[in-house]
Chains A and B, each alone.
Chain A
Amino acid sequence: MEQSFDVSVQERDGLPVVFVEGEIDVATAPPLRERLQEQVAAGHATVVVDLTAVSFLDSTALGVLVGALKRSRQAGGSLPLVINEPRILKVFEITGLTEVFPIHPTLDEAVEQSR
């Protein structure tokens, strides 16, 4: 079954930004994990993940992001997230992950504070 999902990578002010669109669930989380792993493997310790176009995410998506954050930290970087949708932010709040990830309301702010 085809689901609405896309993941792409662009560079912004020297930082890789992973843009995610659609629903991140057990079926679509693997390609996101691959894109994130590729960035760290390419030597980018800090990777910005823009979730402003995400309409749904579950625990597998959170697990992928937590794993990527661990890898970024091990490489001396971080994994700032861009979230502006209250429904998505709520998932991070109820799981306590707002205390773990740097979360920004705009991409500009995330990039500015991550350089």
Chain B
Amino acid sequence: MSKLSELDGVELSIPVQADLVVLARLTAATVASRAGFAVEEIEDLRLAVEELCLSLVPSSSQGRLHLSYRWRGDTIEISCSLEAAEGMAPGSAAAAARDSPLAEGEMAAPAADLSLRILDALVDDHGRDVAQGRARAWLRKRVSSTV
């Protein structure tokens, strides 16, 4: 397989559906591999992307996740935005983003906290914002970064 050039990028759009989140991490692994990441870094990125998606997925499970995978210099940047289902205001999408699909009772707070700890440990930078009316979460990871 050829390596990715800096101009390359990959886009993925999936319905908000628990059993499709695997596609986000499969794509991350493929892009990271093509970008020259080591096996351990690829595994880190797979988990980080999973957490990125979970941080946005509303408990109502409606809408679409749009993922963008970009490679520049020694850094891969992945962003994930939530296109809320029709009738769901952007504000409610952002609020819903604080829940995970498993946010039932005792699971909600621990999972969200654990998700943040995982992202803190595995990537160089990550954050959340609202872009074009959509809740968005992003991460950056440098190749051969020390975490």
Contacts and interface: CB of A to CB of B under 8 A. Distances in A.
B102 A95 contact: no
B21 A59 contact: no
Category for how many chain A residues contact B: 20 to 34
Interface in B10-53: 18-23, 40, 43, 46-47, 50-51
B114 A62 contact: yes
A59 B54 CA distance: 9
Category for how many chain B residues contact A: 20 to 34
B116 to A, nearest CB: 9
A63 to B, nearest CB: 4
A60 B19 contact: no
Interface string B81-122: 000000000000000000011100011001110110110011
A64 B112 CA distance: 12
A74 to B, nearest CB: 11
B115 A59 contact: yes
Contact of B114 (A23, A63, A70): A63
A30 B18 CA distance: 11
A91 B47 CA distance: 9
A26 B18 contact: yes
6 contacts: A59-B51, A60-B101, A62-B111, A70-B106, A94-B118, A96-B117
Interface of A: 1, 3, 23, 25-27, 29-30, 56, 58-60, 62-64, 66-67, 70, 87, 91, 94-97
